Amino acid sequence: MTTIKEETFVATIDHLDPKGNGQAAVWIESDKGFNPRKLKLTIPQTLPGESVKVVVERPDKRRWKVMPAEIVATSPERTAAPCPHFELCGGCVWQHWTYEGQLKYKTQQVKNALQGEGLDTELVLDTIGMDDPWHYRNKMEFTFSPEGNIGLHEQGNFRNIIPLETCRIAGRNMVDGMLEVSEWVKEFGLKGYDKDAHAGLLRHLMVRESFATGEMMLALFATEKPDGELASAVENLVERITAKFPNVKSLLWLVNTDWADRTQSEDTHLLAGRDFIYDEMAGYRYRLWFDTFFQTNPVQAQKLVDLALEMGKPQEDEKMIDLFCGVGTFSLPFAARVKELAGIEIVETSIESAKRNAVDNDLHNTTFLARDARRGIDEMHEQFGFADILLIDPPRCGAGGKVMRRIGRSQPKRIVYVSCNPDTFATDVAELLPFGYKLKTVQPVDLFPHTTHVELVTLLVLEDD
C-alpha cells in the first residue's frame, strides 16, 4: 500500500467562492516526468490576493479544503476578528475583513451577476452599509449539542455545535437571554438533541427582539411536553426569565419530534406572556409569531423600504400588486400611498398576518391572497385588475421565467424588484427586457455584515413611459 505524504505549498488566493472561502490552485510536478497536475484548494478565512502557506494531507487529490497554516502576504484589508468564536463558529465568515472591503466586494458581486446576463453594470451603485455593523440581528436560532451546550454550527461541520459565550451579530439583549437559558440548562442537567441517535430533549432556542418596541421572544424547541418530570425545571425557567427579563413578552415551549432539523412546532405551549411580540418598521406595527418571516436587520430593512418607496413613486390614483408580500413589510407603507394594493403570498399564515397587520394600522384598501405567484397573478388580475406598480420580493431562488413573463405581459408602468440573490435577480430581469422594460438603477444594501449575502433594490420602467 502506497503512503501519500502531506506536502506544504504557498498558494495565492485568486477569488472567493459563494460561501466566502478563498480559492487557489497549485501545480504539482510529477515524479515520472509527466505534465504538472493542478490541485485546487479551498482555504477559509483568507482574502483575495493573499499568499498563504498550507499543509495538504492528500496532494494526490484534485481538490482539497485546508485552513491556512500561515499568511505569507497579508491583504491590506485584513483585520483582527473581534469575536472569540470566529475561527470555529459558522455564524459569520468575514470578521477578518475590513467592513469597507466587504462592501466593495459585494458591489462587485452584483456587477458580476448583471454582466453574466448582459446587463449594464454601470447602473450598480455602491453598496449601502451600516454605521455600526455589529449586533444587528433581531432574530437568532441557536442549537443545542447533545451535551446541552448552546451555540451555532461549526464552519463546514453541521454536526458540531460551537458553545457560545457571546455573539457579535445578535442583539445584545438576545445574547443575554441566550446565556440565561444556557445557565438554566446546565443547572438542571438537561440534554440536547442528538441528530444521529434521534434522542434527547432540547433542539433549538429561537430569540426574537424588536429594536423598536424592545419586546423579546424566547422560544424553546424540544421533543417532549413541558410537564411531568420537566414541570419543576420549566417552572424555574419561567420564574427566572420573567424576573430578569421584563422585556420578554413571549416565552414559548414548542414540541418538535420530527427528524427534520427545522424550527417547527407540532404542539405550542405558552409559558408566559402572549404568543407573539410587536415590532415596528417604517412607522407601522407588526405582530411577529415564532414562524413569522420578518427582515432580520431592522436598520437596513428600513432603508430597503425607503428605497422602494423612492423608486416606486406611488401615487394616490394608482393600483399596486405586492408579489411575495409576506406579512406586509412593503405592503403597508405602499398601501398608505396608493388607491388600492393587492398582496400575494403562498404561505397562508403570512397572509393572515398581513391582513391583521393592515387592520392594526387602519389600512382598509388592501386585498391579500394566499396563492403561489404564478396562479396568484392571474387570479388577482381577474379580481383586482392590472397594476400600475408591481413590487416583487422573491426568495433566494428567484421568481422564475414563467412568473416574470406573466409580469411582463401585464405591463405595469413601474416594477420595483427587491432581491436577496443577485444571480437569480439578473436572470429574472433578463426575462422582462423583451416586454419593453428598461433597468434604471440597482442599489445594493448590506443587510448581513460579515457574511456573503447582499440585498438589492432596483427599478424597471416601461420604455414608453
Q: Report pLDDT digits (tens) over 266-289.
A: 899 999 999 999 999 989 999 999
Q: Give 402-440 pLDDT, tens digit per residue.
A: 999 999 999 999 999 999 999 999 999 999 999 999 999
Residues 336, 210 share a domain: no
pLDDT at 230 over 50: yes
pLDDT at 343 over 70: yes
Residues 381, 336 share a domain: yes
In a domain, 95, yes or no: no
Domain that holds residue 63: 7-73
* Phi then psi dihedrals of residue 366, to 5 deg: -115, 150
In a domain, 99, yes or no: no
pLDDT at 459 over 50: yes
Residues 117, 143 share a domain: no
In a domain, 88, yes or no: no
Give the per-residue pLDDT at 32: 64
In a domain, 316, yes or no: yes
CB 411, CB 462: distance < 8 Å: yes
What mean pLDDT comes out for the span 87-112? 95
Residues 457, 311 share a domain: yes
* Phi then psi dihedrals of residue 422, to 5 deg: -55, -35
Of 257-266, 377-386, 411-420, 450-459, the one with minimum mean pLDDT is 257-266
pLDDT at 258 over 90: no
Confidence class for position 31, pLDDT limits 50, 70, 90: low
- Rounded to whole angstroms, what are the CA distances from 193 to 197, 231, 259? 8, 19, 11
The residue written with cell numbers 438542571 in the block is 188
What mean pLDDT comes out for the span 229-236? 96
Taking 3-state DSSP, the helix, strand and coil percentages for the chain, each rounded to the nearest 5, stand at 25, 30, 40
In a domain, 352, yes or no: yes
Under DSSP, the state recorded for 433 is G
In a domain, 240, yes or no: yes
For β-strands 202-209 and 157-163, DSSP reports them as: unpaired
Does residue 397 have an active-site annotation? no
Give the per-residue pLDDT at 2: 54
- Rounded to whole angstroms, what are the CA distances from 103 to 304, 378, 424? 16, 39, 20
Question: In total, how many domains does the chain have?
Answer: 3
Residues 457, 415 share a domain: yes
Cell of 222: 424540544
Question: Tell me, what CATH number does 239's domain have?
Answer: 2.40.50.1070
pLDDT at 91 over 50: yes
Residues 314, 188 share a domain: no
Confidence class for position 445, pLDDT limits 50, 70, 90: very high
pLDDT at 1 over 60: no
Residues 112, 189 share a domain: no
In a domain, 360, yes or no: yes
Question: Tell me, what CATH number does 333's domain have?
Answer: 3.40.50.150
What mean pLDDT comes out for the span 233-253? 97
Smallest Cα–Cα separation from 168: which of 81, 294, 62? 81
Give the per-residue pLDDT at 33: 61
Q: Which of 92, 167, 397, 420 is the catalytic position?
A: 420
CA distance 148 to 131: 36
pLDDT at 465 over 60: no
- Rounded to whole angstroms, what are the CA distances from 21 to 10, 70, 341, 387, 448? 17, 16, 43, 43, 17
Residue type, 86: F
CA distance 331 to 366: 8
Cell of 229: 418530570
Question: Tell me, what CATH number does 39's domain have?
Answer: 2.40.50.140
- Spell out the alpha helix ranges (H) of 117-230: 172-187
Residues 183, 332 share a domain: no
Of 155-159, 190-194, 212-216, 323-327, the one with minimum mean pLDDT is 155-159
In a domain, 78, yes or no: no
Q: Give 159-207 pLDDT, tens digit per residue.
A: 889 999 999 999 999 999 999 999 999 999 999 999 888 899 999 999 9
Residue type, 2: T
Give the per-residue pLDDT at 463: 87
Residues 304, 432 share a domain: yes
CA distance 252 to 272: 7
CB 421, CB 352: distance < 8 Å: no
pLDDT at 120 over 80: yes
pTM over 0.85: yes
